[in-house]
Amino acid sequence: MSGPVTIRDVARAADVSPATVSRTFVRPEKVDAVTRERVLSAAARLDYRPNRAAQSLITGLTGNIGIVVPDLTNPFFPSVVRGIQSRAEELGYPVLLVDTGEDAARESELVTRLGRQVDGLVLCAARMSDEDLLSHRQQRPLVLINREVPGVPAVTFDNAAGIAQEVMHLKALGHVRIGYVAGPGTSYSSRVRQGAVTTHLAAAALTEVAVGSFAPSFDGGRSAAEKVLLANVTAVMVYNDVMALGLINQLAQYGVSVPNDLTVVGYDDIEFAAMANPALTTVRVPREEAGALAMSYLNALMTATGPAPEPPAQLKTEFIFRGTSVRVPLTGALAE
Amino acid sequence: MSGPVTIRDVARAADVSPATVSRTFVRPEKVDAVTRERVLSAAARLDYRPNRAAQSLITGLTGNIGIVVPDLTNPFFPSVVRGIQSRAEELGYPVLLVDTGEDAARESELVTRLGRQVDGLVLCAARMSDEDLLSHRQQRPLVLINREVPGVPAVTFDNAAGIAQEVMHLKALGHVRIGYVAGPGTSYSSRVRQGAVTTHLAAAALTEVAVGSFAPSFDGGRSAAEKVLLANVTAVMVYNDVMALGLINQLAQYGVSVPNDLTVVGYDDIEFAAMANPALTTVRVPREEAGALAMSYLNALMTATGPAPEPPAQLKTEFIFRGTSVRVPLTGALAE
DNA sequence: CTGTTAGCGCTTTCAC
DNA sequence: GTGAAAGCGCTAACAG
């Protein structure tokens, strides 16, 4: 008899009923040790694999989990995905991935579609509204990364601390008027970070000069160059590393050299921050760790029988002092 | 009655049998147009969604496709994944992703596991042996990207042409002794590229100086710096952009400036190649396009009833002349 | 602890 | 063109 081996084949080989075979895999403790061994060895001998579809049909569970990211080509996200993926693999979950292409509108629809194929979801930097998020949360377990909505489980970074460290750093270097290049106002973490910048700059008695909002991309950073030049500052904090790198690149076109003429600090510590020349001063956010933690938490949520598991703490960020920040007085073109 | 709406609910609402509802979705042409409309409107009204597990159980198909990549944090792969993903979405396939972590040994096992959850697979830069690949190909439809094995469908790049263009470029710039920094010998595309370099350099009557094999990473490129310096060449071709960037970075530590002291050309045209300073001369390989094409081809394979569909042509590569390559005679430290 | 009995929701012969 | 019936492979009561 051909075809894949089914639970009945194993049952026959082990001389038990199909139900006992099923129990052996689902509730081993409810099966006599001797019987269990017999079943297990028969299953191994026949190379039996439970049919997922049949299990799904009856349990209503797929055994898969889903990840949603806004843009996989943004170097922030592959690390997160990797963290989720490797933990998911340890836990035995295959992972369904969807890249929404930064499209906030489609995001919610894609989550709905994906939601039907998985038992739980990790949403990275979700762009959708709080309401949509809350409604998806009703459907199935879900963990957010880098986004907070009251009542929705989330893994977040201690952004305030990271910003505080940068501010302290800039103050220690003697900077007083400090520019801030913001990300898109529609992004949750951009708004959070902007708030932290304002707060900590004020607390440090430093002057914040808002440069404006730009796309969270290399070109977005580039397009901020003119406004930065006009801001009459000695240092500028940028929403993220990719933008900071773009800004520095465009500044070079203007003959403005970083850090001699201007101090620039980024955020995220993407791989290329260290590779750039000069290497970018930034704040490291533990992306892979966040992914793994989110997956662990999601698993706890999915398997929880009793009370909801404790949400994980905020992840610590780490200030990284590299080559794009120096002490004032400046000696270059922008010095007065 | 609560729960999700089933085919019987629709049948009742449309006053037909469940079989007719099923046919309406699976073989619409076998249902009378009027009946079909009635069923469709009832389905829409009730917001009916077929249960995937039930369909799967009966058809043996999951409706999903899988992607396997060696390392998602290598900027080459997210683009490919994006290409696959967006095309898969158009075709209605959810995508299962696995990152093997460059582990050739685990790769085959992961493919086996993943294979049971999907109807078809796209394998990027597969590290496993030809034999393993051939055996997986027996199991289910599969398309390779950037790897060739006789008898296995694949989307590949015209690497020879890319290398030829680079060689021509270097020759035009007056370089004669040219170093080659190879990728890992275990990598298929590294071997292919090495072969092309040797062939075209010889054909152009240029001298090839083998610098050695290194890890395909930024640090791998860095570690090639000493040997490059010792190679007494005016130009060096590097296996890929990430390595080229690492090499340039480390060279700077030695006080060797690119391109003044040494011409460096990369391969791939990853996003950061253009962002680097100076921007990297390289060869663009259409990664996202390759992903989309592979997915289209896979779909053709999966839905093919008659003869096997035509394999797609090799994807054209494009030489990109940027800032890291200049004409000899050199004026810097390495000039003679 | 184990077997028997019923389906999960859907597709698919096979009649009509 | 449409319906009735028979499972796909598995799990979950329910007896024993």
Q: Is the peptide bond before A329 cis (omega within 30 degrees of 0)?
A: yes
Check residue A335 and give its pLDDT.
47
**Is the N-terminal amide bond of A28 cis, ω within 30° of 0?**
no
Do A152 and A163 share a structural domain?
no
Residues of B in contact with A256 (CB under 8 A): none
Nucleotide D11: closest residue by CA–C1': A58
Same domain, A306 and A233: no
Residue percentage of chain A with pLDDT more than 70: 97
Instruction: Let me know whether B202 and B252 are in one domain.
Output: yes
**B171 contacts: CB under 8 Å, gap ≥ 6:** B204, B206
pLDDT band at A334; cut points 50, 70, 90 = low
Euclidean distance between CA atoms B76 and A14, whole angstroms? 50
pLDDT confidence of residue A168: 97
Q: Is residue B46 included in any domain, yes or no?
A: no
**Which residue type occupies A60?**
G
Domain CATH for B99: 3.40.50.2300
Closest CA to B287 of B182, B157, B184: B157
pLDDT, tens only, A15-66: 999 999 999 999 999 999 999 999 999 999 999 999 999 999 999 999 999 9
Maximal CA-CA distance, chain B: 91
pTM of the full predicted structure?
Answer: 0.92
| D5 C1': nearest CA residue | B19
In-domain check, residue B57:
no
**CA–CA gap between residue A81 and residue A86 (Å, rounded):** 8
Mean pLDDT of A173-202: 94
Domain that holds residue B186: 159-285+320-329
The DSSP symbol for B169 reads H
At residue A62, φ and ψ (nearest 5 deg) are -95, -25
All residues of chain B having their beta carbon less than 8 Å from the beta carbon of residue A117 are 52, 64, 94
Residue B124 and residue B70: Cα distance in Å, rounded?
7
Helix, strand or coil for residue B178? strand
Distance CA A279, CA A270 (A): 11
DSSP strand pairing (B120-124 vs B65-69): parallel
**pLDDT-based confidence at A174, cuts 50/70/90?**
very high
SS3 B320: strand
- Does the residue B26 lie in any domain? no
Digit-coded pLDDT (tens) for B125-136: 898 999 999 999
Same structural domain for residues B227 and B85?
no
Residue reference for tokens 């054209």: B316
Separation CA B175–CA B205 (nearest Å): 11
Q: Residue B335 has what pLDDT?
A: 47
User: Is A35 contained in some domain?
Assistant: no
Helix axes A33-46, A7-14, angle to 10 degrees: 120
Residue A258's pLDDT is what? Answer: 95
**3 state DSSP class of B325:** coil
Residue B60 belongs to a domain: no
**What integer best gives the mean pLDDT of chain A?**
93
Which residue in the set A82, A96, A249 is minimally distant from B275, CB to CB?
A: A249
- Check residue B275 and give its pLDDT: 87
Residues B220 and B81 in one domain: no
CB distance A271–B73 less than 8 Å? Answer: yes
Verify whether the Cβ–Cβ distance A97 to B85 is below 8 Å: yes
Cβ–Cβ contacts within 10 Å for residue A64, how many?
21
A334 lies in some domain: no
Please identify residues in chain A, positions 36-55, with a C-beta within 7 angstroms of any atom of strand C: 36, 54
**Residues B240, B220 share a domain:** yes
A10 domain residue, yes or no: no
Nearest-Cα residue of chain A relative to residue B251: A277
Residues B224, B79 share a domain:
no
My answer on whether B243 and B172 are in the same domain is: yes
Question: Is residue B127 in some structural domain?
Answer: yes
Q: Hey, of B71, B98, B110, B287, which one would you mutate to test binding to chain A, going by the most A CBs within 10 A of its CB?
A: B98
Residues B220 and B241 placed together within one structural domain of the fold: yes
What value does the mean pLDDT take over residues A86-103?
Answer: 94
Tell me how close the Cα of B122 comes to any Cα of chain A, in angstroms.
14
Q: Which three-class secondary structure string do you get for chain A? A: CCCCCCHHHHHHHHCCCHHHHHHHHHCHHHCCHHHHHHHHHHHHHHCCCCCHHHHHHHHCCCCCEEEEECCCCCCHHHHHHHHHHHHHHHHCCCEEEEECCCCHHHHHHHHHHHHCCCCEEEEECCCCCHHHHHHHHHHCCEEEECCCCCCCCEECECHHHHHHHHHHHHHHCCCCEEEEEECCCCCHHHHHHHHHHHHHHHHCCCEEEEEEECCCCHHHHHCCHHHHHHCCCCEEEECCHHHHHHHHHHHHHCCCCCCCCCEEECCECCHHHHHCCCCCEEEECCHHHHHHHHHHHHHHHHHCCCCCCCCCCCECCEEECCCCCCCCCCCCCCCC
Q: Are residues A325 and A188 in the same domain?
A: yes
pLDDT tens by residue, A8-21: 999 999 999 999 99
pLDDT for B304: 79
Bases of chain C within 7 A of a CB of the protein? 1-5, 7-13
pLDDT at position A187 is 84
Do B126 and B194 share a domain, yes or no? no
Same domain as A218, residue A106: no
The tokens describing A4, both together, are: 């894949």
Q: For chain A, what is the domain count?
A: 2
Residues of chain B with pLDDT under 70: 1-2, 306, 330-336
- Residues from chain B that touch A70, judged by Cβ atoms under 8 A, are none
